[in-house]
Amino acid sequence: MEALYATVTGFLAASGLYLALRGRTFPVVVGLTLLSYAVNLFLFSTGGLTTNGAAVIREGVTHYADPLPQALVLTAIVIGFAMTAFSVILAMRVRGDQGSDQVNDQRGEEPKEEKS
């Protein structure tokens, strides 16, 4: 299970990184989202992978899963959602303001160069 989990996390992170380095805003946003998924999976696994483990201490139970990474991952997911929503809106705003979805649009700067 560890090998599968690690492969999936690594693949997600690699795809996210590739997309985040693209030149248009939409792939960048999708890439950052994939990256945050990969990070969430990674964070989830930091307590060790256990199946059928109890998260809360109870009498007569000896097999436990680490509850803290679950709490951390929940926080990270919520924050990640907010950031994704924000960056989607921002990408649309960039598109509207510049008339192009290039991350590095140089057209806006040209008139300024001539003036100075």
Partner 1 sequence: MMHHLIVLPVLLPLLSGLLMLVKRDSIVLPRRAIALASTAALLVISVVLVIQSDSGEITYYALGDWQPPFGIVLVLDRLSALMVCLTAFLALGSVAYACAGDDRKGSNFHGLFQLQLMGINGAFLTGDMFNLFVFFEVLLIASYSLLMHGGGKDRTQAGFHYVALNLAGSAMFLIALGVLYGTTGTLNMADMSQKVAALDPDRLGLIKAGAFLLLVVFGLKAAILPLYFWLPRAYSSAPAPVAALFAIMTKVGIYAILRVYTLIFGGGAGELANFVQPWLWWFALATLALGGLGVLSARDLRNQVAYLILISVGTLLVGVSMNREAPLAAVLYYMIHTTLVSGGLFLLADAIGEQRGKAGARIVPGRGVTQPALLGLFYFVGAVTVIGLPPLSGAIGKALLLNAALPSEQPWLWSLLLLSSLAGLVAMARSGSTVFWKAGRGDSDGPRLKPAMLAGLILLLGASPALSILAGPVTRFTDASATQLLDHDAYAEAVLSGNVAGGDS
Instruction: Show the CA angle centred on residue 85, arms to residues 34 and 75, nearest 5°.
Output: 70
Can you list the positions of beta strands (E) in 1-116? none
The count of C-alpha atoms lying within 13 angstroms of the C-alpha of 48, restricted to the half-sphere facing its C-beta, is 9
63: left (phi over 0), alpha (psi -120 to 50) or beta: beta
Contact pick of 20, 49, 54, 65 for partner 1 (by CB under 8 A): 20
Give the number of residues in contact with partner 1, rule: CB under 8 A. 35
User: What is each CA distance from 35 to 40, 45, 72, 81, 114, in whole angstroms?
Assistant: 9, 16, 17, 12, 40
Contact pick of 49, 68, 74, 110 for partner 1 (by CB under 8 A): 68
Site string (25-64) toward partner 1, x via CB under 8 A: x--x---x--xx-xxx-xx-xxxx----------------
In whole angstroms, the minimum distance from the beta carbon of 8 to partner 1 comes to 15
Q: Name the residues that contact partner 1, by CB under 8 A.
A: 20, 25, 28, 32, 35-36, 38-40, 42-43, 45-48, 68-69, 72, 75-76, 79, 82-83, 86-87, 90-91, 93-94, 97-98, 103, 105, 108, 116
